[in-house]
Amino acid sequence: MRLLQFRKTQERKGTTLVETAVVLPIFFTFLFGFIEFGHVFMTIHTVNSAARRAARVGVGDLATTDEVESLAHDILNSAIDADLENVRILVKDASVFDDINVDAEAMNDTYYESLPNVAVEDLERGSLFLVRIQVPYGEVGILGPRWIGDINIYGQAVMRKE
């Protein structure tokens, strides 16, 4: 009986190695995918939060565009490298959204960039302004641009000057 058990153990030695060689790459692919997916959502949340909080600072009477951009930059720096060349923080005039006929869903990236820049300190009360942040995820992602490609993450907030 003991000899039979020893023989079965000898027959399985190579099987364990083959099973490990097949399963480990799949396991690590899923593991790194989960980590990258979590990082994407953290980055999206950070970009949205930075835009919203920076716009909220801009509604005050004494606020300046530099303060708005600086706060957005500081919040982004808590999660990613906000000093990268392609990370953009835009403060734009959003008075176009006061028109009831504007279809905001049809607007694309070039439309937002074509809006006129605005100095928050020069805005009149009741004026709309937009804080829009663009982060190229391929430059800040964990796995890098080879896997991610040219995906941009955007966050924006539209507020009215008080």
* Residues composing the chain: 162
Summarised one tens digit per residue, pLDDT across range 45-97 is 999 999 999 999 999 888 999 999 999 999 999 988 888 888 999 999 988 88
State which residues form the domain around 46. Answer: 2-160
pTM of the entire structure?
Answer: 0.80
Domain count, the chain: 1
Provide the total of helices (H) and of strands (E) in the chain, helices listed first: 6, 3
Question: Taking Cα atoms as reference points, which of 87, 89, 90 lies closest to residue 140?
Answer: 87
Q: Inform me whether the pLDDT recorded for 143 exceeds 80.
A: no
